[in-house]
Amino acid sequence: MGGPVPLYQAKAEFFRMLGHPVRIRVLELLQDGPMPVRDLLTQIEVERSSLSQQLAVLRRAGVVTAIRDGDTVVYALAGGDVAELMRAARRILTTLLAGRQDLLATLREDEKNALTRST
């Protein structure tokens, strides 16, 4: 009864996997190139164990790769598509937030006009 997972369900699982602020921050930082864990720790203020847990989730999902270099583990994005996804998310959020700012400004202006008319 198992059958293949529908694409929309696989996408939902993928986005659910991304749905943690530390994971998103890691992916944003890795857009600039590979980083050792110690550098990720200085950029993301979380406990080492928490970062390790989130990196493991990303690694299991195949979104990042880990290469050991002596005592150092260096993480990198597994492919350019992830970086493009992060850039697309930024563009979408920027547009949404700009729209909200426009709406907020309009509401404030309407409120100010209503107060002016009532006095």
Alpha carbon distances (Å) from 39 to 25, 30, 43, 60, 101:
13, 11, 6, 21, 35
The pLDDT assigned to 93 comes to 87
Third-level CATH fold of 1-78: Arc Repressor Mutant, subunit A (1.10.10)
Contact 56, 17 (CB under 8 A): no
* Model pLDDT for residues 21-70, shown as the tens digit of each residue: 999 999 999 999 999 999 999 999 899 999 999 999 999 999 999 999 89
pTM for the whole structure = 0.78
Count the neighbouring beta carbons within 10 Å of the beta carbon of residue 19.
9
Segment 101-113, tens digit of pLDDT:
887 788 788 877 7
| Domain ranges across the chain | 1-78, 79-119
Quick check: 63 and 78 in contact, CB under 8 A? yes
| Confidence (pLDDT) at 110 | 80
pLDDT of residue 112: 77
